[in-house]
Amino acid sequence: MIELRFQLRVDSETRIGPGKVSLLEAVARVGSISAAAREQEMTYRRAWELIDHMNKAFGQPVVVGHTGSTGGASLTELGAEIVRRYRLIGHLIDEAAAPHLAALDVAILVPALEVDPDNDLD
């Protein structure tokens, strides 16, 4: 089955794709970078590097940490907007591409009939 995946190119070195969006969603869901990292099966360091890279690329935080007794982390308005719009764009792309991907799947599963040049069907 053919699948379509897309990325947002923020700048020449930064792309936002399904992995980073899933990490942001996990932070929003569990309220912690370390718990989100565990959920995404990556180290805390890797999760922090990805988040830090996004923070720098956008010129403002997409995730903020909380100090004090509660601790944890949450998405900023920008972080939530990135997730929301990424998922919306993905949905629109999926809808537009679905019939074309299905046609390609059929073309792969049912090879085109070879035409015998000596057999004129007209």
Helix (H) or strand (E) holding 10: strand 8-11
pLDDT for residue 80: 98
pLDDT range class, residue 88, cuts 50, 70, 90: very high
| pTM score | 0.81
- The size of the chain, in residues, is 122
Across all residues in the chain, what is the average pLDDT? 89
Q: Is the pLDDT of residue 11 over 80?
A: yes
pLDDT for residue 51: 97
